[in-house]
Amino acid sequence: MELQKVRRGDPPPVTGPVFLTGFMGTGKTKIGRLLAQRLSRVFLDTDHLIEERAGQSIPQIFATQGEAAFRQLEHQCLAEAATRTDAVIALGGGALAQERNWELLGRAEGVVVCLQASVDTILERVSRKEDRPLLAGLSLPEKRAKIERLLAERAPFYNRADIQFFTSDEVDPEATATRLAQTLEQWHADHRRDP
């Protein structure tokens, strides 16, 4: 059996699942994929898992079944994903506004990272495509107002994350993922349990 050599002072590898939360448009999917590569992990996106399970896109689920049905599917998919200790898991922007989902994350004993971005950055990113059910049919000023309102409502949940990490269009996703991997390793080194 080959043993991995760890130099003295190197932080240990991150253990347990890494959960990425944050508002829509903060980069959970793009940065999550890159982060998973850097950490040699599987990448899971609960929004994609929901669509696979439902056989519908998220906008279709909202339109035909409503938000409550979507949140139930989200909870089920998160419960399954949270068992993967080898994964980086991107959560939908509203997933952690549900207390029962925090319970799942607590049992998984992973680390929760909240990706953040400015309102201007979020607005620009989510306006590239009209695929956000909570912003559907809104003018630009209405989108901004709704983003600000939802951010304020969700702030108490996002603030519970272990790590707050700011994303910006001025830093490319690859560099952001590298910085986040380093932040996670340091967090794990600081919080590892004594044997």
Q: 13 or 73: whose pLDDT is higher?
A: 73
**Residue 17 pLDDT exceeds 80:** yes
**What amino acid is encoded at 15 in this protein?**
T
* DSSP structure class, residue 133: G
pTM: 0.86
Q: Is residue 14 part of a domain?
A: no
Element (H, E) at 42: strand 42-45
- Domain of residue 142, CATH code: 3.40.50.300
Residue-level pLDDT at 192 = 67
The answer to whether residue 3 sits within a structural domain is: no
Return the bridge partners of 18, or none.
88, 111
What range does the domain containing 95 cover? Answer: 20-182
Sorted by sequence, the CB contacts under 8 Å of residue 22 that are 6+ apart come out as 28, 93, 114, 115, 116, 117, 158
Tell me the pLDDT tens digit for each residue of 125-150. Answer: 888 877 788 888 889 999 999 999 99
- Classify residue 55: in a domain, yes or no: yes
For residues 120, 132, 37 and 187, what is the CA-based torsion angle, rounded to 10 degrees?
60
